[in-house]
Amino acid sequence: MKKPSFKQAAIVAAVVVIASGAFWATTSNHAKSGDKAGNKEAAKPKASLTVTTTKAQTVDWPLSLTANGSIAAWQEAVVGSELGGLLLSEVRVNVGDVVKRGQVLARFTNESVAAQVAQQKAAVEEARAALSEADANAERARTLVNSGALSGQQTTQYEVAERSAKARLLSAQASLEMQQIRLRQTEVIAPDDGVISSRSATVGAVASQGQELFKLIRQSRLEWRAEVNATDLLQIKVGQAVKLRVTNGVLVDGKVRMIAPTVDPATRNALVYVDLPVPGSAHAGMFGTGQFLLGRAEALTLPQSAVVMRDGFSYVYQLGKDDKVIQTKVNLGRRVGERIEVVDGASSITPAMVLIEKGAGFLADGDTVRVANPAANPAENKPVAANAAPLALK
């Protein structure tokens, strides 16, 4: 076998040296790349919180105007004593009783008044007898006036006596009618249909004339007296529907009956009178918060959990680059169910933006987060009923 020459051996040695250099260079480059990747991974901020995301939605929502006010009787009639100095012998009704017009509510003792009625009836009969005698005398005088048996003066006296007897009869009859009225007034009568709201009548008490015995809510009708700012007053019309939430949490439907013609100069508020159904769940004296239904309009809405209140302002957090959040200040409008309208600031919030929903209350501007539902589309997963009831009140 032929031995390799010196030249060939030198070439082989050079190839080996070059290959070794390339291997070490490649190994070094890979090591450096790995170090850079590791440093970059180590430099990336750690997520401070795991959150879920959502998106804004545009929905057709009802327009409404919110107001506060008290519930009162439509009209409250005071039922009092028309007689004085009589003993109250019977009380037939109590607070909360429903009564009819003309129903007897209470009675006074009537023996003395009944005696006066009997006495006056006798006076009427006496006056009627005197009139009969005067009529007869006057008739005879008129018959004899032409015969000369009676003078003209005597005839005139008989005629005057006749007229006086007629007047005394009329006076006696008027007095009898007055006493009969007093006898009827010994019964306290309901002036209208309604419900007794107050009772001060007590059996055995001697009432003075005009003393209040009962209060009656006429026709059992109640109304909500809403205090509306003068600037919002033009939006309200007679006949508009109203949703009222009263103190006990019950929703009551109402309708605008009347708008006060004047505005309170101190508060710049006007009263709007809203009729409430009869019977209903509301009671006079309750406080209520209601909404006047003004129509419908589009609204850009978010879940209420996506809105954070801090220092008296409202904020939302947008998911930005590298999973960092961006704080945005917004103003809020209508609320329906669990969603809320974004009013001012809506120009900076779009349906395409990814916003933080759960966990937003623990974030600050620039925080890095971990998204638990990156593939979810919250706007599709949580549909909003456009016809939802408008009374999730502020």
Closest by CA to 370, choosing from 326, 323, 306, is: 323
Integer angstrom CA distances of residue 82 from 99, 155, 185: 20, 47, 6
Q: Which CATH number fits domain 52-56+298-371: 2.40.420.20, 3.40.50.300, 1.10.1740.10, 3.30.70.330?
A: 2.40.420.20
Tell me where in the chain the CATH 1.10.287.470 domain(s) lie: 76-213
Q: Is the bond preceding residue 279 a cis peptide, omega within 30 degrees? A: yes
Check residues 296 and 276 and name the one with the higher pLDDT. Answer: 276
Residue 330: both structure tokens together:
């917004």
Report whether 356 contacts 306 (CB < 8 A).
yes
Q: Is the dihedral of CA 292, 293, 295, 296 positive or negative?
A: positive
The most confident of 32-46, 335-349, 379-393, by mean pLDDT: 335-349
159-168, 273-282, 371-380: range with lowest mean pLDDT: 371-380
Tell me where in the chain the CATH 2.40.30.170 domain(s) lie: 219-297
Instruction: Convert the pLDDT of each residue in 352-365 to its tens digit.
Output: 888 888 888 888 88
Give the H/E segment covering residue 65.
strand 57-73
Tell me where in the chain the CATH 2.40.420.20 domain(s) lie: 52-56+298-371
Q: Which CATH architecture has domain 219-297?
A: Beta Barrel (2.40)
Report whether 190 contacts 102 (CB < 8 A).
yes
Phi/psi at 361 (5° precision) = -70, -15
Integer angstrom CA distances of residue 175 from 127, 186, 229, 270: 12, 17, 57, 51
Instruction: Convert the pLDDT of each residue in 205-234 to its tens digit.
Output: 998 999 999 999 999 999 999 999 998 998
* Res. 78 pLDDT band, cuts 50 70 90: very high
Tokens 């209350």 — which residue? 361
Rounded to an integer, what distance in angstroms lies between the CA atom of residue 240 and that of residue 252? Answer: 14
**Cα atoms in the 13 Å half-sphere on the side-chain side of 339:** 25
**76-213: in CATH 1.10.287.470:** yes
Average pLDDT of the chain, as a whole number: 82
- The yes-or-no verdict on residue 283 having pLDDT over 70 is yes
Closest by CA to 72, choosing from 217, 212, 202, is: 217
The pLDDT of residue 124: 94
The Cα angle at residue 238 between residues 232 and 240, in degrees rounded to 5: 80
Is pTM beyond 0.85 here? no
Q: Which residues of 183-209 are buried (b: 16+ CB within 10 A; e: fewer)?
A: bebbebebeebbbbbebebeeeeebee
The pLDDT of residue 120: 94
The Cα angle at residue 164 between residues 161 and 168, in degrees rounded to 5: 135
Please, which residues have CB within 8 angstroms of residue 369's CB and are 6 or more apart in sequence? 47, 48, 49, 50, 51, 319, 323, 324, 325, 356, 359, 363
Instruction: Convert the pLDDT of each residue in 157-181 to its tens digit.
Output: 888 888 999 999 999 999 999 999 9
The pLDDT of residue 81: 92
